[in-house]
Amino acid sequence: MNMGWQMYLRRLQESDLKDRVMWMNDVAVYPSMGFTPPISLENTVNWYRSNLSNNKRVDCVFVNEIGELLAMAGLTGIDYSCRKAELYLFVNPNRQRQGLGKKATYLLCKYAFNVLHLNKVFLYTNAANIGAQRVYESVGFKLEGTHREERMVDGNYEDRFYYGLLAKEFDYDQIPLLMIGCNILIMNYIDVGGVKLRVVRDDLYPFVGGGSKARKAVAYEVFLRENGYNAIVTCGGIQSNHNRAMALMCAKNSWKCHLCIQGSEERFMNEKGNALLDRLSGAECELIRLEDTAVAMDRAMKKLKEEGYNPYYVTGGGHNLPGGTCFVDAVLELKYQCERIDYKPDYLFLASGTGSTQAGIVVGLDLVGWGDVKCVGISVARQQGRGKQVIVEFANMLAAHYGLKRDYSESIFFNTDYLCGGYEKFTPEMKDYLDQTTAKTGLVFSTTYSGKGFYGMMQEIEKYHLKDKNIVFWHTGGLMNIMK
Ligand SMILES: Cc1ncc(COP(=O)(O)O)c(C=O)c1O
Q: What is the pLDDT of residues 3-53, one digit of tens each?
A: 346 899 998 988 899 999 999 999 999 988 888 899 999 999 999 978 876
Q: Which atom of ligand 1 is least distant from the CA of 323?
A: 10
Q: Residue 472: CA atoms inside 13 Å, Cβ hemisphere, count?
A: 24
Residue 444: how many other CB atoms lie within 10 Å:
17
Q: 449 C-alpha vs ligand 1 centroid, how far in Å?
A: 7
Q: Which atom of ligand 1 is least distant from the CA of 446?
A: 1
Instruction: Express each pLDDT in 313-366 by its tens digit.
Output: 999 999 999 999 999 989 988 988 898 789 999 999 999 999 999 999 999 999
Instruction: Express each pLDDT in 176-217 by its tens digit.
Output: 898 887 678 999 999 999 999 999 999 999 999 999 999 999
Q: 440 C-alpha vs ligand 1 centroid, how far in Å?
A: 24
- Which among 148, 150, 96, 161 is positioned nearest to 122, based on CA atoms? 161
Please give the Cα distance from 57 to 194 (Å, whole number). 44
Q: Residue 392: its pLDDT value, please? A: 98
The residue contributing the CA closest to ligand 1 atom 13 is 353
Judge if the beta carbon of residue 243 lies within 6 A of ligand 1.
no
Q: Residue 2: its pLDDT value, please? A: 33
Q: What is the mean pLDDT of residues 105-112?
A: 96
Distances, alpha carbon 175 to alpha carbons 181, 220, 318, 406, in Å: 19, 14, 22, 28
Judge if the beta carbon of residue 212 lies within 6 A of ligand 1.
yes
Please give the Cα distance from 344 to 359 (Å, whole number). 19
Q: Residue 53: its pLDDT value, please? A: 65
Instruction: Express each pLDDT in 461-476 by its tens digit.
Output: 999 999 999 999 999 9
The residue contributing the CA closest to ligand 1 atom 7 is 353
Q: 353 C-alpha vs ligand 1 centroid, how far in Å?
A: 5
pLDDT for residue 304 is more than 80: yes
CB 478 within 8 A of CB 446: yes
Q: Residue 409: its pLDDT value, please? A: 97
Q: Residue 401: its pLDDT value, please? A: 85
Q: Which of 203, 204, 213 to mutate to test the pocket of ligand 1 (most atoms within 8 A of CB)?
A: 213
- Which among 182, 173, 314 is positioned nearest to 242, based on CA atoms? 314
Judge if the beta carbon of residue 234 lies within 6 A of ligand 1.
no
Please give the Cα distance from 262 to 283 (Å, whole number). 15
Judge if the beta carbon of residue 448 lies within 6 A of ligand 1.
no
DSSP one-letter string for 387-452: HHHHHHHHHHHHHHHTT----GGGT-EEE-TT-TTSTT---HHHHHHHHHHHHHH-----TTTHHH
Look at strands 84-91 and 69-79 and give their pairing. Answer: antiparallel
Q: Which atom of ligand 1 is least distant from the CA of 352?
A: 11
- How big is the CA angle at 343 (ends 341 and 348), to the nearest 5 degrees? 130
For 92, phi then psi, to 5°, come to -45, 120
Q: 446 C-alpha vs ligand 1 centroid, how far in Å?
A: 11
pLDDT for residue 298 is more than 70: yes
Q: Residue 134: its pLDDT value, please? A: 96
Structure letter (DSSP) for residue 11:
E
pTM of the predicted protein model: 0.79
Please name each of the domains of the chain with its CATH number: 8-179 (3.40.630.30), 187-208+322-482 (3.40.50.1100), 212-318 (3.40.50.1100)
Ordered strands of the 284-288 beta sheet: 284-288, 256-262, 231-237, 311-313
Instruction: Express each pLDDT in 381-439 by its tens digit.
Output: 999 999 999 999 999 999 998 778 899 999 999 999 999 999 999 999 999 999 999 99
